[in-house]
Structure 1
Amino acid sequence: MSDTTSSTPPAPAPPGLPACAQVDLGAISANVAALRERAGSAEVMAVVKADAYGHGLVPAARAAVRGGATWLGVAQLPEAVELRQAGVDVPVLSWLHVPGQDFTEAVALGIDLGIAAQWSLQQALDAAAATGRTARIHVKVDTGLGRNGAWDADLDALIDDVARAQADRAVEVVGVFSHFAYADAPQHPTVRAQQERFEGLLTQFEQAGIRPQVRHLANSAATLTNPSAHYDLVRPGVSVYGLSPVPDLGAPEDFGLREAMRLVARLALVKDCPAGQGISYGHTYTTSEQTRLGLVPMGYADGIPRHASSRGPVQVGGSRYAVAGRVCMDQFVLVLGADNAAVAGDEAVLFGVGASGEPTAQDWAVAAGTINYEVVTRVGARVPRVYVGGEDL
C-alpha cells in the first residue's frame, strides 16, 4: 500500500489572509494512487463533483489524473464542460440531469452522459443527431437505493430503447452503473442484495445485446471495504480527498490516505476578558474566570456549521480549544485561558491532517452532528483556496 501518511508538517497559512483553505494536491494524487492499489484490476474514476468536494474542480481533477485516475465523475453537466474547456481529456461522466437540458455541447465534447429515463435517452439522441456524433452513455440502474436510476418496468422499457439506439449507432453504451445505500456498513444485508440485483440486471442487458465497456458500483466505502464490488471501475469520492467514508471502521491513515484540505484562519483580535462575561450572541457561554479571548474571522457564511457552536475544535499554538458560544455569520470566539500568549495574526487551524495532531473534518462532523463530506463541501466561496504540493501552482 502506498504510504501517504508520512509527510513534512503542514506549512503555515499565507500571512495577510483572514482565512484560507490550503489544498495539498500531492495528497490528492497520493490518495488516488492508494485507491488504485485497493481497486486491483479495476480502473479508478475520481469523483470531482461539487467543485471537487470544495477542493477546486480543475486543480483537483488534474491531481487525481496524475495519481492514476483514468476517469473523472461529476454530478452536473457544467462541471464536465468546465473540465473539457480546461483541457482535461480523460473520460468524464456526468450523471444528474433534468428534462429540457441540452446535451449537444456534451456530445460534441465527448462527455459521457448518465441515462436514467427515456427522456434523458431522447435528449442524448437529439444531441447525437445535431452533432453527427455517437453519444457516449452510461445507463443508471436503481438496485435498491431508491434514488436516481431506472428500475422495474421503466428499466425494461429503457433497455429496449437503448438496444435500438445502439443498433442504430446513435449511442455507445460505455457503462452500466448503480449506487449503494449502505456501503459504509459493509455487513448490512442490502449490500449483497444490491450486488446480486446489479449482476442480474447486467445479464438482462447482455440478453438485450448490450455489453458495456465498464460496470461500476463501488463508491469510496466499497472501494476500501468490498473488493467483490469493484467490477471494472470504482468511483471513489470523499476518499480521493483523504477523508474516511467509514470513520467507525478506520481513520484516513488506516487506509493509507491523507487529508488534502487544511482550513485555517488568522486571529483577528486577542483581548483580556473578566470572569462572568457572556460570549457572542445570546450569551450561551459565560466565562468562569479571567481569561483571554481569540477572535476567528470565519462564520457560517464561510461554511462553519452553526450547529457546532460551543463544540467545534480549533487549534492555536499547538493547543486545542472549542468554539465558545455561537458561531456567527462572519466570526466566532475562542476562550484561550488566562496565561495564553497568542496574539492577533496567529494561525488558527479549524481542521487539517489528523496524523499531524490537528483537528479534522471528522471532528467537526461529530461536533455538528453531520458527516465529513458536508464539512469540506460547505467551505464557502469567499474562502480562497491556496494550492500546495502539486503542479497547479
Structure 2
Amino acid sequence: MNLVESRHRPAPRGIVTGLAEAVVDLSAVRENVRTFRKRVPQQVLAVVKADAFGHGAVPVARAAVEAGATWLGVARADEALQLRAAGLTVPILTWLYDAAELVLLGDLDVDVSVSTVAELQRVVSTPNVHAVHLKLDTGLRRAGSAPNQWIELTRTAAHYEALGAVTVRGIWSHLSHGDSADAVRSERQLQLLRTGVSLARRAGLRPSVVHLANSAGAVTLDAAGTDLVRIGAGLYGIDELGIGLRPAMRLISKLTQVRRIRAGEGVSYGHDFVADRDTTVGLVPIGYADGVPRTAVPQASVLCRGVRMPVIGRIAMDQFVVDAGDHAVELGEPVTLFGDGSAGEPTVADWAAWAGTIPHDIYCGIGSRVPRRYEEGNR
C-alpha cells in the first residue's frame, strides 16, 4: 500500500505512531463511487459535508471525482469554499448559507439551494449572478418550498432568469424514507417532484439537472427522469442495503498501560465493572472526547492480538480499559476499534448498534484530536 497523504509521519499498516488514528483507504471511496456508477444511469454527486463524514473532505472529494463523480455536495458555505481553495473545479452545490457568504459563493461558482421567494430575492440582491437549485418539499417537511408556494417560486425564478439576474441550474428534493426497502413513499415523492418540474417548465425554466435520490434511494427507487443521485452514506461504505460497498475508515489505537488486577477489584469511575477473576487489563488512550461513545458499554469490544477484548468500566473522556484475560499483551500492542470486519474486528455498524445510534453519527463524532492518515489499497 502506498501512503498518499498524512498529517504525520507515515506508518506501516497496524502500527500507530501517536495515541490513535483514523486510517482512510481512498481506494474504497473510489470503489464505492464506481459501484453506484455501475448501478444507476444518473451522474453521481458525492456528498462530502461535515468533513466528508469525518473522513476528510478534500482527499475524499478528490478520490470521488477521480472515480467519476461529476458533482460535489456540501451543507455549509465554508465547506464549499474549502473545496474550491483546494483546486476542485467540478460543480458544487451547498444548501446552508447566509447572505454575507453569497458574494464569495458566486465568485467561486458554487451553486446554492433556494426554497422560498425571500431566499431567491436575497440571492438576486447580491452582486454576482448565481446558479441556483430550487428545492421542492415532497414529504420530508424540512427545507424546501411548500407545494402551495411552488408556482410562485418558479414564476419568480423565471422572471429573474429572464432578466439575467440568476440561472436556475437544478430542481431537487429530499427523500424521507430512502433507506426503506419498500419504495412506496419514495415513489410518491418522485411523482410530486416530476409534477414540480413540469410546473417549472411551464413557467419557462429549463433546469439542466433534477435530483432526488440519496445512497439508499439510488438502489430502491427507479428515478427515471432525474440526472443525479446524491451519494453520502454509500460513499463511505455505510451499506444500508447490502450492495457490496466497502468501509473506507478504520479507527486504531494501542495499549499504553498493561497491568494485572485481582478478583474483586474495580475498574474506572464508579467501579461499574468489578473483576470476577484475576485478569490482565489494558489502557487504550482514546475516549468520548475523541468520539468513542460512552453508551456503547457494556457491549463494546475491540480487536487486539486477533482476539475480541471487551471494554470494561466506563469510557472516560480520554481513555478506556479492555479486559485481556490471560492473553499475553504488551505495551504498544495495536488495538482496532473498528474496521471492515475482515480480520474479526468490530465494524462501525457494531459500534452504532452498541451506542443506539447510526454509523453516520460514529464517523462524524471522531474528533480533531484523532489524526487522519490516508492510504491506498487496491484501486
The aligned counterpart of 1:331 is 319
Answering whether residue 9 of structure 2 is matched by residue 22 of structure 1, we say no
Q: Which residue matches 2:111? A: 112
Q: Which amino acid aligns with 1:346?
A: E
Q: CA deviation at 1:182?
A: 0.7
Letter in 2 for 1:191: S
Is there any run of 5+ residues in structure 1 with no aligned partner, and where?
Answer: 1-9
Determine the structure 1 residue equivalent to 2:348. Answer: 361
Residues 109-258 of structure 1: matches in 2 within 5 Å? 109-127=108-126, 130-131=127-128, 134-187=129-182, 189-228=184-223, 231-244=226-239, 246=240, 249-250=241-242, 255-258=243-246
Matched, 1:52 2:49: no
> How many aligned positions are there?
368
Query: Deviations 1:130-182 (Å, cap 9, x if unpaired)?
Result: 24xx3111111110001111113333322121111111121111111111111
Task: Kindly indicate whether the alpha-carbon contact (under 8 Å) linking 1:12 and 1:347 is maintained by their aligned counterparts in 2.
Answer: no
CA contact (8 A) 1:46 1:237 kept: yes
Give the distance between the partners of 1:202 and 1:112, measured in 2 at CA.
18
Question: Secondary structure at the residue paired with 1:227?
Answer: coil
1:372 and 2:359 correspond: yes
TM-score normalised according to structure 2 size: 0.93
**In structure 2, which of residues 240, 248, 263 is the aligned counterpart of residue 260 of structure 1?**
248
The corresponding residue for 1:38 is 39
CA deviation after TM superposition for structure 1 residue 242, in Å? 1.1
Sequence identity, in percent?
A: 43
Q: Which segments of structure 1 move beyond 6 Å, counting only runs of 4 or more?
A: none
Measured on the aligned residues, the alpha-carbon RMSD in Å equals 1.8
Q: When the two structures are superposed, what TM-score results if normalisation uses the length of structure 1?
A: 0.90
Q: Distance in 1 between matches of 2:246 and 2:163?
A: 47
1:288 aligns with 2:279: no
What is the distance in 2 between the residues matched to 1:69 and 1:343? 45
| Partners of 2:311 and 2:321 in 1: CA distance | 6
The residue aligned with 1:5 is none
> Distance in 1 between the 2:72 and 2:305 partners?
39
| Contiguous gaps of at least 5 residues in structure 2 | 1-10
Q: Alpha-carbon deviation of 1:309?
A: 2.1
Quick one: distance in 1 between partners of 2:225 and 2:156? Answer: 28
**In the aligned structure 2, how far is the partner of 1:18 from the partner of 1:61?**
27
CA distance in 1, matches of 2:348, 2:273: 24
Q: CA deviation at 1:197?
A: 1.1
Distance of 2:115 and 2:329 partners within structure 1? 55
CA distance in 2, matches of 1:229, 1:285: 55
Q: CA deviation at 1:186?
A: 2.9
Residue 74 of structure 1 aligns to a residue in which SS?
strand
